[in-house]
Amino acid sequence: MIQENVLEALKHVTYPGFTKDIVTFGFVKDIAIEGNTVALTIDITSSADEVKAQIKQDATTELQKIGFETTIITITAPQAPKQLSNSMSGKNIAPHVKNFVMVSSGKGGVGKSTTSVNIAVALAMQGKKVGLLDADIYGPNVPRMMGLDGQKPEIQGNKVLPLKAYGVEVMSMGLLMESGQSLIWRGSMIMKAIEQFLRDILWSELDVLVIDMPPGTGDAQLTLAQSVPVTAGITVTTPQMVSLDDSRRSLDMFKKLHIPTAGVIENMSGFICPECDTESDIFGMGTTAPMAKEYDTELIARIPIEPAIRIGGDSGMPITYHKPDSQTAKRYQEAATVLWAFIEKVNAEGGANNQAIQPTTPPGVSACSTTATTATAKPHSHEHSNSGGGCGSHNGDGKGGCGCH
Ligand SMILES: Nc1ncnc2c1ncn2[C@@H]1O[C@H](COP(=O)(O)OP(=O)(O)OP(=O)(O)O)[C@@H](O)[C@H]1O
Ligand SMILES: [Mg+2]
């Protein structure tokens, strides 16, 4: 038996929550073989005990299958990070929040808010301290979806207390203005609003803040990424090609904003008939995984079209909480588990860092563009508190020349 046999066998051990195996990830080290005994080290990136136990068990099984009687497997893992991810260099205007998740999409109406709500509720049901920020200033839907429509948050001094539903702290522009009111805002005002949501809301010491973004790749996304180190980005898409085209822009934006991409959620993927529980294809299914691969990430959930999801949204009763045994609730729970594993991996590898996209990058080099241009070196409008060079999107009217747009 030689090292190659061992590596071949361990290629059957996938890293929990991911599709790649531990050999491909490069985690297997120091293989020593003597007769029927093999000793090796698996150097993983997660500090979670259940991940260690799972890998050890799977590796032992695979090595026994190829004839080893004694397996000595040492798993080395990083210490659970004591520091918050936001203590990294870069900017963080909400340092009491440990992790930030940006839920984005290229297209409107594909299910970002529904996904944000259900993932936030799933994470809370898994014991995490969770906040949900509705950063869709123009179309705030989260209050209705969380059953908080019409409620007003308490003001403390010049700060605002988030409301709470299903174990999740919630804030939205919809909670701060009268229902049905429209907002006509300039880009610079959107940036200020996003900053205030992070700075002036009395969030607890959250494990994670899930942020439901407006559709597209604009000022809100850029301001958020510059204001806090976003630990994970999720792109929501529907399976049609026209939606996938827009999703590519969203995935590209994560890359340009240095946001680690947790993966893609394919929403409205097939239809589950409420009568017979069978699944049929409407917008197409399974088109998303190849696109995710193009961007070095993966499909983390396929959520079908299901009337109960829409009803749950309209009635403020998220399916994940109210129908926990449904197939869809289980898929949201799985997606939340994968997301959390990803967050742990990012933190074990040093955490998110938004230093590179701060507006202080050298003049002429846009944080969002791969080439230096003189156009991006223009001084920024004084209206925006982050201004000072760098990304050309920060002109006062929010219509900049940033490559992210
Ligand atoms: N898988 C699904 N099955 C059935 N209905 C769904 C599903 N996903 C979302 N919906 C419904 O589709 C509508 C749009 O979803 P949602 O508001 O979450 O999209 P969005 O991407 O946040 O939209 P916007 O871009 O306007 O913010 C909502 O009524 C929601 O309840
Ligand atoms: Mg929305």
Residue 134: nearest ligand to its CA? Answer: 2
User: Which residue type is seen at 178?
Assistant: E
Per-residue pLDDT reduced to its tens digit, 267-316? 999 887 778 878 788 777 778 999 999 999 999 999 999 999 999 999 99
- Structure confidence at residue 273 (pLDDT): 79
Instruction: Return the minimum-mean-pLDDT range out of 25-34, 84-93, 137-146, 343-352.
Output: 84-93
Determine the distance separating the centroid of ligand 1 and the alpha carbon of 110, expressed in angstroms. Answer: 6
110 lines ligand 1 (CB under 6 A): yes
| Mean pLDDT value across residues 97-110 | 95
- Structure confidence at residue 397 (pLDDT): 37
Residue 119: nearest ligand to its CA? Answer: 1
pLDDT at 385 over 70: no
Phi, psi for 310 (deg, rounded to 5): -65, -45
Cβ atoms 244, 237 nearer than 8 A: yes
Residue 384 region by backbone torsions, left for phi larger than 0, else alpha for psi between -120 and 50, else beta: beta
Residue 302 region by backbone torsions, left for phi larger than 0, else alpha for psi between -120 and 50, else beta: beta
**Cα distances (angstroms) measured from residue 404 to each of 29, 53, 147, 254, 287:** 40, 41, 34, 9, 24
Residue closest to 216 by CA, chosen among 369, 368, 108, 357: 108
How many angstroms separate the CA atoms of 318 and 328, rounded?
11
How many angstroms separate the CA atoms of 401 and 394, rounded?
9
Answer yes or no: pTM beyond 0.75. Answer: no
Per-residue pLDDT reduced to its tens digit, 46-62? 767 888 899 999 999 99
Determine the distance separating the centroid of ligand 1 and the alpha carbon of 313, expressed in angstroms. Answer: 8
Per-residue pLDDT reduced to its tens digit, 110-147? 999 999 999 999 999 999 999 999 999 888 999 999 99
Domain 3-76 has CATH 3.40.50.10860: no
Cβ atoms 79, 218 nearer than 8 A: no
305 lines ligand 1 (CB under 6 A): yes
pLDDT at 341 over 70: yes
172 lines ligand 1 (CB under 6 A): no
Q: What is the dihedral of CA 130, 144, 142, 271, to 10 degrees?
A: 100
For residue 126, the SS3 value is coil
Query: Looking at ligand 1, which residue's alpha carbon is closest to its atom 9?
Result: 111
Q: Angle at the Cα of 86 (from 85 to 89), degrees rounded to 5?
A: 105
Q: What percent of the chain clears pLDDT 90, i.e. is strictly above it?
A: 59
Residue 104: nearest ligand to its CA? Answer: 1
Q: Which residues contact 358 (CB under 8 A, 6 or more apart)?
A: 90, 91, 226, 367, 386, 390
How many angstroms separate the CA atoms of 262 and 342, rounded?
6
Domain ranges within the chain, ordered by starting residue = 3-76, 88-348, 359-400
| Mean pLDDT value across residues 149-165 | 91
pLDDT at 404 over 70: no
The superfamily in CATH containing domain 88-348 is P-loop containing nucleotide triphosphate hydrolases (3.40.50.300)
Residue closest to 265 by CA, chosen among 386, 156, 400, 114: 114
313 lines ligand 1 (CB under 6 A): yes
Query: Looking at ligand 1, which residue's alpha carbon is closest to its atom 15?
Result: 111
Query: Looking at ligand 1, which residue's alpha carbon is closest to its atom 18?
Result: 111
Determine the distance separating the centroid of ligand 1 and the alpha carbon of 390, expressed in angstroms. Answer: 35
Query: Looking at ligand 1, which residue's alpha carbon is closest to its atom 23?
Result: 109
Determine the distance separating the centroid of ligand 1 and the alpha carbon of 309, expressed in angstroms. Answer: 9
Residue 32 region by backbone torsions, left for phi larger than 0, else alpha for psi between -120 and 50, else beta: beta
Determine the distance separating the centroid of ligand 2 and the alpha carbon of 115, expressed in angstroms. Answer: 9
Residue 331: nearest ligand to its CA? Answer: 1
Per-residue pLDDT reduced to its tens digit, 10-23? 999 998 877 778 89
Query: Looking at ligand 1, which residue's alpha carbon is closest to its atom 28?
Result: 310
Residue closest to 145 by CA, chosen among 122, 177, 121: 121
- Indicate which atom in ligand 1 lies nearest the CA of residue 269: 1
Per DSSP, 21 falls in state B
Q: Which regions of 215-316 does DSSP assign to beta strands (E)?
A: 232-237, 261-272, 279-280, 299-305
Phi, psi for 11 (deg, rounded to 5): -70, -10
Query: Looking at ligand 1, which residue's alpha carbon is closest to its atom 16?
Result: 111
243 lines ligand 1 (CB under 6 A): no
pLDDT at 399 over 80: no
